[in-house]
Structure 1
Amino acid sequence: MVQRMIWNQTAYFGPGAITAIPDELARRGFTKAFVVSDQVLIDTGVTSKVTALLDAAGFAYEVYSNVVPNPPIETVQAGVAAFAASGADVLIGIGGGSPQDTCKAIGIITANPEFSDVRSLEGVAPTKNPSVPIIAVPTTAGTASETTINYVITDTQAKRKFVCVDPHDIPILAVVDPEMMSSAPRSLKVATGLDALTHAIEGYTTAGAFELSDMFHLKAIQMIATALPKAADGDPQAADEMAMAQYIAGMGYSNVGLGLVHGMAHPLGGFYSAPHGVANGILLAPVMAFNAASTGEKLRDIAAAFGVEGAASMPLEDARQAAIDAVATLTRDLGNPTTLREVGAKEEDLPALAEAAFADVCTGGNPRTATLAEIEELYRSVY
C-alpha cells in the first residue's frame, strides 16, 4: 500500500524562534505581509512580538484582526477581499486554530477563486493551485495547524462546522516559539493541550495509521501525558515540551486522519460555539472505550505512554481500561468539563448532533464503524 506524508518546507522551534521570520521573508523575496490574527492577541501584545520584528526590519505589512473563534464563512470572505486590497504577497498567521484556519482559507481561495463560496472546500477539496505562501506562528500548544493540511470553517446558517483537507494549504514555514504561547490563560492551555492529546490518540488508533505516523503519535502521547499538567500551571520547560509535542502530533494526524472524537466535537462547535479542545476532552475517554475492542494492542501502548505500571504485561482488557482511565483522570484533574451540559448542549439537539457527527469527514477514520444510533447514545452517555 502506498502511503503519503506532507510536512512544511521549513520549521523553526524553541524560544526566540520568531526572530527567524524577517530573514526568511527577505530570503524568499516577499515584499509585503498580510498578518492574520485576532483582537485578543493584538490587545495583549502577542501579535506585536512578530510585527515589531517586521518594523525593525523595515518590512511592510497589514494586519487583519477580524477573526473570531470557530471562524465563519463570512470572516473568510471578508479576509479574501482585504487581502486582495492589501497588495500583500505572503500571509502570516499568528494565533491558535481560528486565525490559522482563517489564514489558510484566505490563501486557498485567493489562489483558487472558484471556491469563493467557501462551502465547496469541504472534504478533500479539488483545488488546482497552492495557497498564497503562509508563515504560521502558533500561539497555543494544541491544533498544530501550522503543519497540517486541514482547516475547519463554520457555516453559521446551517449551524455546522466543516473540515477542509487540502495539501495545497500547508504553510511553507512553521515557527513554533513557546514564548508566543506563554501568556495564554490556564483554561486555554488545558483545552488546547487536550486537543493535542486527542490528535495524538486518534491519530495513533485511526484506520489510516501506519508505522511512520505511529512513531510520531506515540511520542506525542508520552510527552503530553507528562508535560500538560505542568505546562497548564506555567512551567516553562513543560511549555516547551507541549509546543513540540503538539507539532509532532500534527505531523502524524494531518497525514492519516482522526476519528469519532473529532467527528462528534465539530457539531458541538457548530451548534453552541463550544471550544474545540474542551469538547474533545469531554469525548476522548468515552470514545476510547467505545473503540477499545477494535484497537488491537494500541491502548496498551497508550497506557504505557501514560506510565501505567505493568501495562506491558497485564491482560489486554486490563491494559485497555487502564489507558481509558488514565485519559479520564488527566481530563478530570485538569478541570476540563466532563458533560455536554457544561458547554451548553440541549438534550433535544442530540439526534441532530448525531446526524452531523455521522456525516463528519473525521468519523470515517474511526477504528470502529459507528452507527447513527451508537453516536447518539455516546452523546447521551456524556450529556
Structure 2
Amino acid sequence: MPTAENYYPPFDGHSSPHISIGLSFDQATLKHCLETYGANRVYLIVSTSISKTDNFTKLQAALNDKLVGVRYGVRQHVPWTDVLEIAKELHSTKADLLVTLGAGSLTDAAKVSAFAAANGAFTEDSLSKLHAGAKPDPASIKANHVPIVCIPTSLSGGEYTPFAGATDFRTHQKCSFQHPSIGPSLIILDPALCTTTPAKVWLASGMRSVDHCVEGLTSVFFSPQSDAPAEKRQEAEKALLEGLGRLLPGLLSTRRDPSDPEARRQSQLAVVAAMRGMKLGVPMGASHAIGHQLGPLGVGHGETSCVMLPAVLRWNLDSGRQEGWVRERQSLVLGVFWGIEPVASALRNRGQDTEMSSLGDVVEAYVRELGLPASLKEVGVGREQFAKLAENSMKDAWIRTNPVQITTSQEVNVILTMAAGDGLPPIQGQPGKPGPES
C-alpha cells in the first residue's frame, strides 16, 4: 500500500475536485484543512456507526479546537428535515469547512445543506424552491461558499458530482439538487479505513457503481442517433470499461476477504474511472430513475441497483429488439463479465452460460454471488406499491434517457413486475406494452 500522498484532479480540464490517496484520512484532513483551505471553523458530519469507533476519535483529535460542530448521522435518502437541521447549524456556527466521514447519504446531505445555507433556505417551503424540478431562476441562486471535504466509506460515487438527492417526505419524492458550486472540493480515499465498512454495505454501494458503468455503457450516449462527438464517446467508453473492469473482481475479492485493503483500493479507483466517464455527459436510465424512488420506500441506496438493473436490462433488450445497437451495447458489457476469469468462474457456478445468458441474467447472478438481494420482494416492496412507484419514477429525469423510450407509467409497471420476485405471473402483453392487469 502507498504511504506518500498522491494528490490530483481526477477529471481532465477540471480543477475541482481533487483526490488525496496515500495518507491516513485523519492526516490528510488536517493537512488540507490547514494548507489548502486555511480553515478555522470545521463542521463535521459523521455516520452514526463510525461515531462509535476509534476512527472518529482520531479525526476529532486531528482537528482539535478547529471543530465547531458535529452532526451524528443522516438518514438514508436524505430527508429534507435532516438537511435543514444541518443548514441551520452551518449558518449558526459560521463554518468555513464542511467534512463528511461516512457513506453516500452524508455526501448528499452536505451538498444540499451547504447549498441551502448559502441561499438562506431554512424551511421546507424555501428548500422546495431550490431543487431542479422547481426550475429555479439561475440569477437568483447563490453559490455555495463552504468547501466540502468527503471521506467516503462506500462506493456510490456521489462525491464526484455537483448533483445531490434529498427526499421530501411530505410527498415521498426524492428530488434532485444541481449547481456547479455544490460538488465537494476534495475526496480523501483511505482503503484501510474502509475495511471497517460492513461488507454488505460496501458491496451494495459497489453495485451502485456497477449500475453507473452498465447503464452508462448501454446508454443513448452510444446510440446511432447520439450527437456526442466520436472522440468523447471513445473517452467515455474507455473510462466506464476501466471502472467496470476494476469493480467486478474487486467486489468479489471483498466478498471473499472483507479485510483485504487492496481490493477496497481497487474498487475506490474503479469509482473514479466510472465517474470520469459520467463526467463526459453520459446519462443514466430507468434503473437509476426507479431506484431514486425506491429510496423513500425504505430500500437501501445500493440495493436499488441490485433489484432494478437486471429487470431494466431485460426490458431494454426485449423492447428494443428492433434497435440493433441496444443488443450490441449489452453484448459489449457481457464481454467484460465473461472476460475476467474470477467473475466468469463465479457466473458459471451460478448456472450461467456464455452463449445463452443475457446481460440481465448475468447481472442478477453476480448480485446473488455478492450475497445481495435481487428482487423487490427481498427488499420489502410489494405490488400494492407499484402504481405510486411507477408514477413517481416517471417524474425522474433519467427515465427520459432510458435506451428504449419509456412514455407511460404502465411501462414502468411492466419493469417492476419483472423485478417483483413474488412468484406471481408477470403482466401480460408485449414487452414494453401495458397488459390488462396494468
What is the TM-score of this pair, normalised by structure 2? 0.78
State the one-letter code of the partner of 1:24: H
Confirm or deny that 1:130 pairs with 2:161. Answer: no
Taking a change above 3 Å as real, the CA distance of residues 322 and 341 of structure 1, as seen in their structure-2 partners, is closer
Distance 1:227 1:194 in 2: 11
Taking a change above 3 Å as real, the CA distance of residues 244 and 253 of structure 1, as seen in their structure-2 partners, is same
- 1:61: how far off? 3.7
Question: Which of 121, 127, 135 lines up with 2:130 in the alignment?
Answer: 121
CA RMSD of aligned residues (A): 2.5
Question: Which of 48, 51, 74 lines up with 2:60 in the alignment?
Answer: 51
- 1:309: how far off? 8.6
Contact 1:7 1:147 in 2 (8 A): no
Instruction: Report what 1:23 is aligned to.
Output: 31
Contact 1:15 1:178 in 2 (8 A): no
State the one-letter code of the partner of 1:247: V
Instruction: Report what 2:159 is aligned to.
Output: 146
Taking a change above 3 Å as real, the CA distance of residues 250 and 42 of structure 1, as seen in their structure-2 partners, is same
- 1:220: how far off? 0.7
Q: Which has the higher contact order (CA 8 A, sep 6+)?
A: 1
Q: How many residues align?
A: 370
Contact 2:18 2:187 in 1 (8 A): yes
What per-residue deviation string (whole Å, max 9, x for no partner) do you get for residues 19-65 of structure 1?
2221211122211111112222201344334333223xx53442111
- 1:115: how far off? 8.1
Confirm or deny that 1:217 pairs with 2:253. Answer: no
Distance 1:320 1:111 in 2: 54
Instruction: Report what 2:313 is aligned to.
Output: 288
Confirm or deny that 1:305 pairs with 2:319. Answer: no
- 1:281: how far off? 0.5
What per-residue deviation string (whole Å, max 9, x for no partner) do you get for residues 165-220 of structure 1?
32221111111211221111121122111111111111222334633322221111
What per-residue deviation string (whole Å, max 9, x for no partner) do you get for residues 334-356 of structure 1?
12112212212131221111111
Contact 1:208 1:365 in 2 (8 A): no
- Which residues of 2 match residues 230-241 of structure 1 at below 5 A? 230-232=253-255, 233-234=257-258, 235-241=260-266
Distance 2:205 2:268 in 1: 11
Q: Max radius of gyration: which structure?
A: 2
Distance 1:356 1:20 in 2: 41
Contact 1:15 1:179 in 2 (8 A): no
Distance 1:376 1:138 in 2: 34
Instruction: Report what 2:102 is aligned to.
Output: 95
Confirm or deny that 1:373 pairs with 2:420. Answer: no
Question: Which of 238, 247, 250 lines up with 1:227 in the alignment?
Answer: 250
Distance 2:303 2:207 in 1: 7
Contact 2:76 2:295 in 1 (8 A): no
Contact 1:6 1:167 in 2 (8 A): no
What per-residue deviation string (whole Å, max 9, x for no partner) do you get for residues 1-22 of structure 1?
xxx9757332112462552221
Instruction: Report what 1:263 is aligned to.
Output: 289
Distance 2:340 2:163 in 1: 36
Taking a change above 3 Å as real, the CA distance of residues 257 and 139 of structure 1, as seen in their structure-2 partners, is same
Confirm or deny that 1:190 pairs with 2:211. Answer: no
State the one-letter code of the partner of 1:379: L
- 1:376: how far off? 0.4
Instruction: Report what 2:18 is aligned to.
Output: 10
Q: Which runs of 5+ in 2 are unaligned?
A: 1-11, 223-232, 345-353, 421-438
Instruction: Report what 2:377 is aligned to.
Output: 341
Q: Which runs of 5+ in 1 are unaligned?
A: 312-317
What is the TM-score of this pair, normalised by structure 1? 0.88
Instruction: Report what 1:34 is aligned to.
Output: 43
